[in-house]
Amino acid sequence: MFPSSFDYQRANSVQEALALLSQHPDAKLIAGGHSLLPAMKLRLATPPMLIDISKIDDFTMNAVSPTRDGGTLIGALATHAKIAGGQFVPFALQTAASLIGDMQVRNMGTIGGSIAHADPAADYPAVLLALGAEIHVEGPNGARVIAADDFFTDLFTTALQPNEIVVSIRIRPAGTRAASAYAKHPHPASGFAVAGVAVAIAANPDRTVSTARVAVTGACAKAQRLSATENALMGKPLNADNIQAAAMTDNMLDCLSDQYASAEYRAHLSRILARNALTTVLERMQ
Ligand code: FAD
């Protein structure tokens, strides 16, 4: 399968990419190409021009590094493989990156491309929601920061404007007595998440839960927080009984349904994966 014909330009800096985007409003950025090129080959996307940002040699766009406050900075061009092997990357994010596709996809695909694409079955969105990440973007009017909670707005839709570029993702420091985890049920053919649940928990000195962020991807049109599960955990000791009760709480999800998995099955998977991810967090906090 071949895409329809297109023009190509390589940008060597974020500013150059922004200038090209303003000159060619119908152009598409290309990073790893592992979502855009399949869509172009299927003629689901027919951009007249591609602006290649993959070779931008800029620390912020490529970094996987600690921030001064103990958090993590991840450049939009960081590949899934780099994130999976990253020393300063929270466990949930490392796990999600290592479960994406196969080695070829992980060596080419980038986190910026993944979140801009916002596939409902992508792994990162749930993790960024659970970690309370900030998405740093640049556009013709300067830089702005979008909270992960506000970024994923619908199926393949984000708060990003067509003339903006994701530059980096910042993850706040986890603090002491904190842990995160991600559990996924992959589609047997594509490897995408039929459902995936990410969890980030912080505990008080008496081991009761002080912060609970739990989010699901794959199950619904967009990744979303599991508020009922979060509320059921707050103030309680993290133990097997409380995990079971919180994970089984009804989050009233409006789940997707397809040939492989019904809405009921996806809702069921979300509960089981929430329990599995919370159990991993419990083990990591002991
Ligand atoms: P591209 O394909 O280059 O771009 C995707 C979109 O994002 C385009 O619209 C582009 O214009 C835009 N874009 C790219 N970078 C930026 C930026 N910095 N700022 C603004 N817009 C930008 N994903 C999963 O989550 N889990 C899986 O299990 C999984 N399995 C896969 C299996 C296969 C066989 C394949 C081909 C893909 C799979 N993917 C999976 C998708 C993969 O993770 C892609 O790498 C990712 O979704 C897109 O990243 P990319 O760098 O390739 O983006």
Over the stretch 224-267, which tens digit does the pLDDT of each residue have? 999 999 999 999 999 999 999 999 999 999 999 999 999 999 99
* Pocket mutation for ligand 1, best pick of 18, 35, 98 (most atoms within 8 Å of C-beta): 35
pLDDT of 286 strictly over 90:
no
pLDDT at 86: 87
pLDDT band at 28; cut points 50, 70, 90: very high
Q: Can you tell me the mean pLDDT for 164-193? A: 95
Long-range contacts of 244-250 (CB under 8 A, 24+ apart): 244/275, 246/274, 246/278, 247/271, 247/272, 247/274, 247/275, 247/278, 248/275
Instruction: Give the number of other Cβ atoms within 10 Å of residue 39's Cβ.
Output: 16
Q: Write the residue with the smallest CA distance to atom 31 of ligand 1.
A: 101
Residues 6+ apart with CB under 8 A from 256: 120, 219, 220, 221, 263, 266
Q: Which residue has the tokens 């929601």?
A: 129
pLDDT at 176: 84
Q: Which of 6, 43, 12, 13 is nearest to 28 (CA)?
A: 6
Query: Strand 28-30 relative to strand 142-147: parallel, antiparallel, unpaired?
Result: unpaired
Dihedral Cα 133, 139, 142, 143, nearest 10 deg: 10
Q: Can you tell me the mean pLDDT for 159-185? A: 95
**Which strands make up the sheet holding 209-217, listed edge to edge?**
178-186, 193-203, 209-217, 224-225
pLDDT band at 113; cut points 50, 70, 90: very high
Q: What is the phi/psi pair of residue 116, to 5°?
A: -70, -35
Regarding the beta carbon of 101 and ligand 1, being less than 6 Å apart is answered yes
Between CA 71 and CA 85 the distance in angstroms is 17
Angle at 172 between CA 236 and CA 253, to 5 degrees: 55
Average pLDDT across the chain, whole number: 96
Regarding the beta carbon of 137 and ligand 1, being less than 6 Å apart is answered no
* CA distances in angstroms from 184 to 46, 47, 141, listed in the order given: 32, 33, 38
pLDDT at 91: 97
* Pocket mutation for ligand 1, best pick of 80, 114, 119 (most atoms within 8 Å of C-beta): 114
- 180 close to 154: Cβ distance less than 8 angstroms: no
What percent of the chain has a predicted confidence (pLDDT) above 70? 100
Q: Can you tell me the mean pLDDT for 77-97? A: 96
pLDDT band at 152; cut points 50, 70, 90: very high
